[in-house]
Structure 1
Amino acid sequence: MKRDWELVRKILLKIEALETIKRSVVCAQDIEDYDEENVSYHIYLLEQAGLIEAAVQKHHNTGIRALAYNLTWSGHEFLDVIRDPDIWQQTKEGAKKATGFSLELLRDLAKGLIKKKIEEHTGIQL
C-alpha cells in the first residue's frame, strides 16, 4: 500500500480537532472517502514516524487496526507547516516535480514556502 499524503494530512487535522486527549480518538470511520484498512495503515505509519500517539493492533487475518488519540510535538510542528491549503497545494506540486520525497522533504519544502510568504508580507528576510 502506498502512502497517501492527503490522507496523512486529513488524519493529522482530525486528531488536532479533538477537544482533549481523553475525549475521543480518531478511527477509520472518522475519515470520509477512505476505507478502514487504508486509514488504519496510515495511522500506523504516522505513529511509526513519531507524529502521533496511537493504539495499533496487528492481526494475521484482519490486518492492522489502529486508533489515533494525540499529536506529538513533531506532529504539531509538521501540521503547522502543511495546514494552510495553499501552502499544502504548493508543497504537493513541488514534491511531485521532484518525483521522490520523504516526510522531511515535505516539511522542509512547506517551511520554505511559508518563509517566502512571510518575507513577501513583511519585507523581513528570514
Structure 2
Amino acid sequence: MKLDHDCVRAILIWVESNVPVGNPRYTDELIDDLKSKWTEAEIIYCVAQLGEANLLDGGAVIQGGAIVINQVNKLTWKGHEYLDNIRDDGIWKETKATVFSKVGNASLSIISSLAAKLIETKLGL
C-alpha cells in the first residue's frame, strides 16, 4: 500500500489536537474523524507506518492481517518536529508541489527537510 502524505499529516494534526497526555485514544476515534477522506485501511496503514517511523507512540500494529495494537498515546519528539515543519497550509502546499512536480514522491525526512528550508527562506534565514 502507498503511504499517503496528506493522510499522514492529518493523523499527526489529529493526534496533537485530540490525545491529551496520559489519556490515549483508540484508532477507531481517529478513523471516524478521518473516514470522509481516507479508507480505514489507508488510515490504519499510515498509523502503523508512523509508529514504525517513531513519529507516534502507540499506533497500529498489524500482524497476520489483524490490528493487534490500536491506540495512540502521543506524538513523539520526532513527530512534533515533523508536524511543526509541515503544519502550515501554505508550506505544506508548496512542499508537496515542489516534491511531486520534480520527483513524484519522497521520504518523510526529505519532505520535512524541504519544508524546513521553505520556512527558513520565509524567515530570511
| Fold shared per TM-score above 0.5 | yes
In structure 1, the gaps of 5 or more residues are 120-125
Amino acid at match of 2:98: G
Residue 38 of structure 1: how far off its partner (Å):
1.2
TM-score (norm. length: structure 2): 0.84
Distance 1:60 1:51 in 2: 23
How many residues align structurally? 120
1:54-73, aligned counterparts within 5 Å?
54-62=58-66, 66-73=70-77
Tell me the secondary structure at the aligned position of residue 17 of structure 1: helix
| Distance of aligned partners of 1:118 and 1:108 in 2 relative to their CA distance in 1, 3 Å threshold | same
CA RMSD of aligned residues (A): 1.9
Q: Is the 8 A contact 2:91 2:115 kept in 1?
A: yes
Amino acid at match of 1:111: A
Deviant stretches of 4+, over 3 Å = 61-66
Residue 110 of structure 1: aligned partner: 115
Instruction: Confirm or deny that 1:30 pairs with 2:33.
Output: yes
TM-score (norm. length: structure 1): 0.84
Residue 109 of structure 1: how far off its partner (Å):
0.4
Q: Which structure would you say has the larger RCO, counting Cα contacts within 8 Å and 6 or more residues apart?
A: 2
In structure 2, the gaps of 5 or more residues are none
More displaced 10-residue stretch of structure 1: 74-83 or 58-67: 58-67
Amino acid at match of 1:116: T
Higher-Rg member (1/2): 1
Distance 2:70 2:2 in 1: 17
Amino acid at match of 1:25: R
Q: Is the 8 A contact 1:26 1:67 kept in 2?
A: yes
| Distance of aligned partners of 1:93 and 1:64 in 2 relative to their CA distance in 1, 3 Å threshold | farther
Residue 45 of structure 2: aligned partner: 41
Q: Is the 8 A contact 1:15 1:26 kept in 2?
A: no
Q: Is the 8 A contact 2:48 2:61 kept in 1?
A: no
